[in-house]
Chain A
Amino acid sequence: MNLLNIVLALPLAGFLVLLALPKDRHELIRRVALAVSLLTFVLSLGLAAGFQDDAPGFQFATDAPWISSPAIRYHVGLDGVSLWLVILTTLLTPIGILVSWRSITRSVKEFFVLFLLLEFGLAGVFVALDLFLFYVFWEVSLVPMYFLIGIWGHERRIYAAVKFFLFTMAGSVLMLAAIIWLYNTTGTFDFEVLLKLAARGNLAFSKLEELLLFLAFFVAFAIKVPLFPLHTWLPDAHVEAPTAGSVMLASVMLKMGCYGLVRFCLPLFPRASHQCAPWIVALAIVGIIYGALVAMVQPNMKKLVAYTSVSHLGFVVLGVFSFTQMGLDGAVYQMINHGISTGALFILVGYLYERQHSLEIVDYGGVATPAPCLAGVFMVTALASAGLPVLNNFVGEFLVLQGTAQVSLKWTALAATGVILAACYMLWLYQRVFFGETPEHVRAHVYDLKAREWAAMLPLIVLMVWLGTATRTFLPPISAANARILEQSQANVEVQVRLVPPGEARYAR
């Protein structure tokens, strides 16, 4: 039993234990859930400690038969891309539990049961190396999130939950079809075997076949990212979800889509990836600008943050489809960054909601006076989200843009306008909520951060600075994994996106 299996099994065990606990022992249920998730997190740090940056292939791997016919295996393992995403999941789960401590008042047991199941599904998605297993985890994560939104959400929760479910299902059905098609052609669901086939040139599809397979995977992932124009489920889901649901949704679940692009689309379908790249890049850039512009005019805080995700994740997709080392490194780094800073934003918006019971910006104003610490923490988070250097997002955005610049300065210039707009939406939000004279209704309800609230935010603030200043903690494994993925995605491709050698870049005339 290696460490990865333990990390994966613990939330499932916790899920079963919680199921067995009596329904009305709320405090006990919360404590057990927190303990399990904290233990999982601590153990998952062992994955980072034991991870070897330069070792090839997947680490902490387990490959055991699960179903004999068709041949589905329990095959899990980690590389530098999945390593930090697993740890992101295990970090945000206890934080989500802390955030839900008092704010979840009905069906307490069910909430925490589902929350641990969600952790299990999400972590599984990032480690599965068997396509069918991947699909199973993909769906496992979907169900608890559906209920989290549908049961503990706000007024229009049913609409949002159904919309979320149908969007994701529409994509994943396509993906399932593609997975089965792959199995029929190759006789295996095993990702590593498929990689070997691809490396030897034995994964030869016709051009059309590869394109269709790529698109089936891509659409499933693009919905999840979400890429413009497949994003409209996201604002609804976020606005209606309870705080912890929004956190997991934004911080981790959206990364499933980004991760899928990097893990499966690039190495398995290199030709089609390159072929579609210009279109995808165009959509990513539209998403960056569009998301930022629409975020700017939102009257609802959660919707605003949701649209900023569309913008930020546009950078991720742009980086992936720049097919450069820096672009990919930046994209993966940005996945983690977005998980930290947007998760933090949703938590803070949740704190405000707990005080004032409104998500509308106009119901706030002058919050900085009664809650200076909340204001300070929000400021740091907003600045991180707006890409200020020494905080996390800057590093990811810089790498993505620098990588993209190696291919086309035009793309970079367009995408970089998103950084200007990020300052607009964040500062305007901040000004309207925190600055100005404090109205009576705000003064009556808003109080400063409590100890438990600090406990949930402090690790995220520390990480924002850490990810922004000491990138060497995180980047080497990511770079190593990306170098392999990049190599796989260049195989059998007459390189269409020409890498410009130094000294000959095209620049605007």
Chain B
Amino acid sequence: MQHLWLIPLFPLLGFLVNLLFGRRASKAAVNAVAIGSVLLSFLWALKTLAALWPIEEAHVERYFAWIQSGELRVGYDLGVDRLTAVMLMVVTGVGLLIHIYSIGYMAHEGGYYRFFAYLNLFMFFMLTLVLAANYLVMFVGWEGVGLCSYLLIGFWFLKKSATDAGNKAFIVNRVGDFGFSLALFLMFVNFGSLDFGAVFAAAAERPIEERAGLLTVIGLLLLVGAAGKSAQIPLYVWLPDAMEGPTPVSALIHAATMVTAGVYMVARSSAIYLHAPLAMEAVAWIGLLTAFFAATIGLTQFDIKKVFAYSTISQLGYMFLACGVGAFGAGIFHLWTHAFFKALLFLGAGSVIHAVHDQDLRNMGGLRSKTPITFWTLLCAAVSISGVPFTAGFFSKDEILLAAYHHAPWMYWLGTLTAGMTAFYVFRAIFLAFFGQPRTEHHAHESPPVMTLPLAALAVLSLVGGYFGVSRWLEPVLPGVEVPHDQRLVAISVAAGLAGIGLAWLFYVARPGLADRVAARLGWLYRLVLDKYRIDELYGWIVVKPVVDGSRGVLWKAVDVAVVDGAVNGIGARACGIGGVLRRLQSGNIRSYAAWVALGALAALLAVGLAGGAR
């Protein structure tokens, strides 16, 4: 027994304590509880991993039964294998840094205790998600992190845009969860268990499905769930709006951890996908298309957080691409490096926003000298995501692109093009914010050490995080694909990244007016991309409006009130009418009674006579 349950328990206790007592407590006490609980869970995770080292097999702990009915038996089962170990380090490690950063970022905000309580609750559910040893406990974490995402996106609940974004995130995720839950039902019906071990063993016994079969269906349904949580086409629309939340939330939940849960789930289910090549193909296509599509939108956005949000969607697409082409380990490796550089990008953006109180890149400029630490750390993240050689992002992205080439060359080329665009839009943001002259009056200042220290730590990880050979280490859990190391392909993708940086330099530093002229030349195409292809409007028009209007106009007003209730009231009125007629019989007039009696007697006699006489 390693007492794995303690890892999620610490943040849960932190949540409860801060929720119940935080309102009256001092900020220092709230900090101590919130950060202390995450620190404890980080340390306990380290201790557990050390004790289980080298974690060659999954270590599963079963506590007590949760639901037991008929053949179903689901317990609170937690487990650790190498995949979980990677996730544990990302969640508790990056989570800890972001908690510390938040002390500075949220210092002047109302609802301080509430923020940290929600953040702790998120840690609890996220750790439950990655530690789960069966699909239902995983689903608990899955829905729980969605709840925390909702609560934190709408943290500033006085703003309608924030609460709208929270609702959208929750509801879009519910659409994904619909798919996920159907996959669970199918698994249980066919495999008689939701336990990872049992399900994967049963899946492994089945033949590889050349044509769509059970595993293909399960794989596709899981993909629907993953697409919701990890913001892939067609369910990505909630993530850009989720930037309404405080920036540390964007870093922790909407960049480093929660949104990668879909990738984790797909990788975790690799035993199912490996026997369902069609489902894997779908994963690869969805991932690649999302990566490309989101990157094009990222090229045009002016809100610094929106740029990074589309970047997150795009990078998650890479991870799906990796899983889809069979390089599950590379996908998780990219998840690992992405957690560092993307968390850093968001925290850096937060530091910039903290300095100038604005998110619009057009209102920034020249911040390099005023916020030097933020600048240099953000630069580390930018080179890493751009795949500049020997940074963390270089290693993981290369593995993915090589595996993609091995699967289908066109996937490599589109992925490389996307890499170039990625480098362009990230450096575009850097150049617009930190170079040139300040475009508006602002009294920018560097953030306090409590914010810059986590930035520095993440900067180091963004540079060296690639030297952890995550995908090789994961091979016992996640079989990879053997790919010949082709130096030319590496060189091409690196060149694409450098070209993107160079182009950004040209557009935004060397010849500042050029970007606007190109945009003007592109005309409607530019405006379409700037408007995010108007996908939100499209969904509103084909889904939301018909459902709401149909429910109000047809189901409620027409069916419920007019038809169903109308029929009832009609029967009621008819009954009253009949009663009214019958009432006239009771007139109190003796002679009319006598007449009725006589008529009745006659009718009775007739009836008896016709029926053949009384017996």
Contacts and interface: CB of A to CB of B under 8 A. Distances in A.
A65 interface: no
Contact of B147 (A383, A409, A505): A383
Interface stretch (B166-174, B338-346, B384-392, B511-519): B166-174
B212 A166 contact: no
Contact of A412 (B71, B182, B192): B182
Contact of B154 (A369, A383, A435): A435
Size bracket of the B interface: 35 or more
A301 to B, nearest CB: 15
A412 B564 CA distance: 26
Contacts of B72: 326, 399, 402
Contacts of B556: 294, 297-298
Interface in A464-484: 469, 471-472, 475-476, 479
A275 to B, nearest CB: 24
A418 B144 CA distance: 19
Given A293-B555, A423-B174, A431-B163, 19 more contacts: A163-B572, A293-B550, A294-B555, A294-B556, A326-B71, A330-B69, A388-B144, A390-B144, A419-B178, A420-B177, A423-B170, A423-B171, A427-B171, A434-B157, A435-B160, A436-B157, A436-B163, A476-B68, A505-B186
Contacts of A476: 68
Contacts, number: 146
Tell me whether chain A's interface is mostly helix, strand or loop, or mixed. helix
Nearest to B23: A372
A484 to B, nearest CB: 14
A232 B567 CA distance: 10
B490 to A, nearest CB: 42
Contacts of B157: 368, 434-436
Interface of B: 64-72, 136, 139-140, 143-144, 147, 150, 154, 157-158, 160, 163-164, 166-167, 170-171, 174-175, 177-178, 181-182, 184-186, 188-192, 212, 214, 217, 547-548, 550-552, 555-556, 559-560, 564-565, 568, 572
A232 B551 contact: no
B547 A412 contact: no
Among B190, B214, B564, which residue has the most Cβ atoms of chain A within 10 A?
A: B190
Nearest to B147: A388
A201 interface: no
B462 to A, nearest CB: 35
A419 B147 contact: no
B564 A409 contact: no
A402 B178 CA distance: 13
A238 to B, nearest CB: 14
A231 B212 CA distance: 42
A42 interface: no
Closest 7 pairs (CB-CB, A-B): A325-B70, A405-B185, A297-B552, A293-B551, A389-B140, A329-B69, A435-B157
Contacts of B147: 383, 388
A231 B567 CA distance: 12
A479 B68 CA distance: 9
Interface in A44-89: none
A424 to B, nearest CB: 6
A405 B188 contact: yes
Nearest to B202: A503
Contacts of B568: 163, 167, 232-233
Contacts of A166: 572
Contacts of A293: 547, 550-551, 555
Among A326, A330, A368, A479, which residue has the most Cβ atoms of chain B within 10 A?
A: A326
A424 B181 CA distance: 18
A114 B210 CA distance: 68
B67 A398 contact: yes
Interface string A226-246: 000101110000000000000
Contacts of A454: none
Tell me whether chain B's interface is mostly helix, strand or loop, or mixed. helix
Nearest to A236: B565
Contacts of B186: 405, 409, 505, 507
Contacts of A500: 189
A298 B150 CA distance: 23
B167 A472 contact: no
B11 to A, nearest CB: 15
A399 B189 contact: no
Nearest to B76: A469
28 contacts: A231-B564, A233-B568, A293-B547, A293-B551, A293-B555, A294-B551, A296-B547, A297-B548, A297-B556, A324-B70, A326-B69, A366-B158, A388-B147, A389-B144, A402-B185, A409-B189, A419-B181, A420-B174, A427-B150, A427-B170, A434-B157, A435-B158, A435-B160, A471-B68, A472-B64, A475-B68, A479-B68, A479-B70
Interface of A: 163, 166-167, 229, 231-233, 290, 293-294, 296-298, 324-326, 329-330, 366, 368-369, 383, 388-390, 395, 398-399, 401-403, 405-406, 409, 412-413, 416-417, 419-420, 423-424, 427-428, 431, 434-437, 469, 471-472, 475-476, 479, 500, 502-503, 505, 507-509
A318 to B, nearest CB: 13
A87 B146 CA distance: 34
Nearest to B67: A471
Contacts of B559: 290
Given A420-B175, A471-B66, A232 B564 contact: yes
Contacts of B171: 420, 423-424, 427
Among A167, A294, A471, which residue has the most Cβ atoms of chain B within 10 A?
A: A294
A431 B159 CA distance: 11
A60 B374 CA distance: 73
A11 B178 CA distance: 45
A436 B140 contact: no
A409 B185 contact: yes
A204 to B, nearest CB: 29
B158 A437 contact: yes
A361 B536 CA distance: 26
B70 A412 contact: no
Contacts of A435: 154, 157-158, 160, 163
B18 to A, nearest CB: 13
Contacts of A431: 163-164, 167
A342 B40 CA distance: 38
A475 B69 contact: yes
B140 to A, nearest CB: 4
Contacts of B140: 389-390
B185 A388 contact: no
Contacts of A409: 182, 185-186, 189
B139 A427 contact: no
A115 to B, nearest CB: 28
Contacts of B560: 232, 294
Contacts of B191: 502
B182 A413 contact: yes
A505 B185 CA distance: 11
Contact of B70 (A229, A403, A507, A509): A403
Contacts of A294: 551, 555-556, 560
Contacts of A401: 181, 185
A138 to B, nearest CB: 21
B182 A229 contact: no
Contacts of A398: 67, 136, 181
Contacts of B163: 431, 435-436
B553 to A, nearest CB: 9
Contact of A389 (B139, B150, B190): B139
Contact of A326 (B70, B175, B548): B70
Contacts of B214: 505, 507
A388 B167 contact: no
A68 to B, nearest CB: 31
Nearest to A417: B178
Nearest to B140: A389
Nearest to B547: A293
Among A399, A431, A434, which residue has the most Cβ atoms of chain B within 10 A?
A: A431
Nearest to B557: A297
Given A416-B182, A419-B174, A419-B181, A503 B190 contact: yes
